[in-house]
Chain A
Amino acid sequence: MDAAAAGRALGRRLPAARVFGLRRPPFILLGLGLLVGLAAALPALYLVVAVFDDAGAALDSVLTDRTLGLITRSLGLALAVTASAVAIAVPLAWLTVRSDLPGRRVWATLLTLPLVIPSYIGAYLFVSALGPRGALADLLGVRLPSIYGFTGAFLVLTLFTYPLVLIPLRGALQRIDPSLEEAARVMGRSHREVFRSVVMPQLAPAIGAGSVLVALYVLSDFGAVSIMRFNSFTRDIYIAYQSGFGRTEAAALGLVLVLVMLVLFTVSARVRAARALHRVTPGAPRPAQPVALGRWRWPALTFCGAVATVALVLPVGVLLYWATKQISSGLELGALATNSWHSLLAAAAAALAASLGAIVVALLSVRYPSFVTRIVERAGYAGYALPGIVVALALVFFTTRVALPLYQTLAVLVFALAIHYLPLAVSPIGASLVQVPPRLEEAARGLGRSPMAVLRTITTPLVASGVLGGAALVFLHALKELPATLLLAPIGFETLATDVWHQTSFGFYEASAIPALLLLLIAAPPLYLLSAKGSVAS
């Protein structure tokens, strides 16, 4: 979103920017940009076409109590998960940034890691551990109440999404200028009052941003709700699609979900734009003095330990345990290697395509802000606003009806993943582009280089790290993506994610452990790259 902000800032400085802006972008760049924008907006556009094709039937299937129920249930879940994710993330962020908690850094890393565990893996681990006849019930020798439905979906999604709030919150806490708090303390306020009246207001934007991420994640999540049998929007869309003869209904439902998400998106953008907070002292911020926890130290450690155990140690531990059992009963190494290769291939291709597209979009919006480039940038976000299952659905329609030669090819899957995660690459690239002084480019132009030559020799090398960061983010997300991969993978193209999914749908939990662990293993290097750069939060 940095690119957007930078673009807007530049736009404001150039009030006379007409349709094409004061600085006219090179023709090729603009052409490419329009192409990327169109590609990213394709699923949304085609969904509208598909639904209006059979508008009567679509309206009939959507204007029902059932749809209203879906909206209420999905929003209810999103709200509950967001609230509890914030409730977990706020104390964790404060403890790991502002207190003298032993091992703060280690805790910070451990507590961020659950984000890597895909919700469908988390969900089936929970079922096997906490189900009515799961491991815990065996251990206690009693029958536990059913975990399926709202409770299960709520627990799993909370545990694997709270890092989405924790990461921006930690960032915000680190940036806060301690002099404000010190002033309030000097005026005689207690620690608690200072936190409420001085710190919290400054954290609100970060909490808001993280909450929106969590809410969007929950609304578009497919794996956890399916395994927990919670009838949310995405699950219903999948069932309508799978039951075959209700595909217009699936598309129409998809469109309703998109509207719900757009409303959320717009509201959050308004809220964020309305708040601007600044430091009061010039220069680099001073780190705050850590607060001594005193006798609260042990409860604090217990809390951090409990969250890390439930969200990270137990899941990985259970996977390892199952994996050893599976290894002792024999492995199909060939299939595992092929599936890993498929996962790598699809995710790498998507990361590549997305970062190429993102370079174009970021360049246009940061360097040549105008009405047209703003549209391109907005279109770039379209794929992200649609849940994976809706992107896939639209592309199934599109390829069977319009672009048949592409039907069931790897290219379509890669295309879907790339446009779905395009914004993840635009943000870091835009941010690094903002830091490249335009004067360098202007100087090169002045010395006679063509705009494309400047792009190649000056701009691109300077934003290389942003590009790598963006590509790594897209790779990570594409790797664990499930619903679009399920719908679009070519015949016989099983990835680690779909393998895990299929094994668990047969109830073969042990057989699913190894592909799940491989998935985490492949995710480790790019994750390391990102956390070393401190930009996991994007």
Chain B
Amino acid sequence: MLIRRRLALFAALAALVAGLVACGSSEDKDTLTMYSGRIAPILSPAVKLYEDASGLKVKTRYGDSPSLAATLTEEGKNSPADLFFAQDAGSLDAVEKKGLLMKLPADVLAKVPKQYQSTGGFWVGTTGRSRVIAYGEQVRESDLPDSPLKLTDTKWKGRVGWAPTNASMQGYITALRLVEGEDVAKKWLEGMVANDVQVYDSNIPIRDAIAKKEIDLGLINHYYVAEAQAENPNYPVKVHFPPKDLGSLINTAGVAVLASSDNKEQALAFVREMLSDEAQKYFADSSKEYPLVSTVQAPKELTPIDEIPAPEIDLAKLGDLQGTLTLMRETGAL
């Protein structure tokens, strides 16, 4: 009977699917689990270096760093994560404050300058990046503001792009609160919203929007422009390091091992891999970030890191994400 057969088919499919769901959810012992605030296009080649060297697999959950920091906090000791790779120091600091990170051994910490790691040694910076104002070639250099605080000027109305959900942007605002005070930060955020700042998901679309002349300026990290310039020397977007106020804050992407990981040795091996010459060279050459390990040279075309007009700031104190997010929601920036 046709209906019989159909029913049998249905039942067979059912069994197949149920079986697959069961296998799909089984845990693999030879894998590391990582939460990454860095986007896949940039991070996955570096992850591959580790996978090839160790023979292990890394499963990565991608998201915004602060969101992942909150997830780690919520999961606490039950987190499936072994590693946390963040786009900014603040997200790492927030997780460190909850006591969820493992202290890293001295040989790992020794590879990176002190200002780019946690005071207690719970996370280590992997690469440096500067917060810049990217601008389109249609903007005259003499018109560029000497401080990001001046972007609230009506002359820039509707011409500036930012990515308020992005960790680097939020870290920048945390630093602004720390250096200039709550009131200045609040006024700036309100001013930006009132000035019709254009909202994007992340840095790349901002850069591309400038290139297409949809907007004129954008608050992004330096390497997004450097990367595009490496591919196309005539790329119509340039980088401006504003010298005043918070100026061109240098933040660091960094990595940490979760204290709850049951695979700490392999997780540490991953951290070491990220600080190896090979990985540091990848970050420097391909994604145009500043390597933090002294044996690797920064890309020649980048402004040397010590010539960037960046404020002195303790990156390990940028963990008050909650305060920043609350302020951003209050002011309508988020």
Contacts and interface: CB of A to CB of B under 8 A. Distances in A.
A244 B4 contact: no
A259 interface: no
B24 A345 contact: yes
Contact of B208 (A247, A471, A507): A507
A400 interface: yes
B10 interface: yes
B25 A506 contact: no
Nearest to B70: A244
A131 interface: yes
A411 interface: yes
Contact of B61 (A229, A404, A468, A492): A492
A243 B329 contact: yes
B325 A245 contact: yes
Given A352-B14, A400-B75, A506-B39, A245 B3 contact: no
Interface in B133-188: 165
Nearest to A226: B201
Given A345-B17, A404-B78, A243 B60 contact: no
A492 B59 contact: yes
B204 A491 contact: no
A507 B205 contact: yes
B69 interface: yes
B69 A491 contact: no
Contacts of B61: 491-492
Interface stretch (A103-111, A188-196, A459-467): A459-467
Interface in A468-495: 468, 471, 490-493
Contacts of A414: 21
A408 B325 CA distance: 26
B322 interface: yes
B41 to A, nearest CB: 7
Interface residues of B, number: 53
Interface in A233-262: 239-247
B13 interface: yes
30 contacts: A133-B209, A133-B213, A229-B199, A239-B334, A241-B67, A242-B63, A242-B67, A243-B165, A244-B64, A244-B68, A244-B69, A244-B70, A345-B24, A349-B18, A352-B17, A400-B75, A407-B78, A409-B25, A411-B25, A414-B21, A460-B7, A464-B6, A464-B7, A491-B33, A491-B60, A502-B62, A505-B202, A506-B201, A506-B205, A508-B41
B6 A490 contact: no
A410 interface: yes
Interface string B13-49: 1100110110011000000010000011100000000
Contacts of A243: 64, 66-67, 70, 165, 325, 328-329, 334
Q: How large is the interface on A (under 10, 10 to 19, 20 to 34, 35 or more residues)?
A: 35 or more
B165 A506 contact: no
Nearest to B68: A244
Interface string B299-322: 000000000000000000000011
Contact of A468 (B10, B63, B78): B10
Given A467-B10, A491-B80, A348 B17 contact: yes
Contact of B212 (A133, A400, A490): A133
A487 to B, nearest CB: 10
A245 B21 contact: no
A132 interface: yes
Interface of A: 131-133, 143, 229, 239-247, 345, 348-349, 352, 356, 400, 404, 407-411, 414, 460-462, 464, 467-468, 471, 490-493, 502, 505-508
A46 to B, nearest CB: 15
Contacts of B1: 461
B321 A345 contact: no
Contacts of B214: 131-133
Given A243-B334, A404-B78, A507-B204, A492 B60 contact: yes
Given A246-B329, A407-B78, A506 B204 contact: yes
B74 interface: yes
Given A348-B13, A352-B17, A507-B205, A245 B322 contact: yes
A132 B210 CA distance: 12
Contacts of B202: 505-506
Contact of A244 (B24, B67, B208): B67
A350 to B, nearest CB: 9
B297 interface: no
Contacts of B73: 244
Contacts of B68: 244
Contacts of A467: 10
Interface centre among A229, A243, A244, A345 (most CB of B within 10 A): A244
A65 to B, nearest CB: 11
B25 A410 contact: yes
B260 to A, nearest CB: 13
A239 B165 contact: yes
Contacts of B10: 464, 467-468, 471
A526 to B, nearest CB: 13
Contacts of B78: 400, 404, 407
B119 interface: no
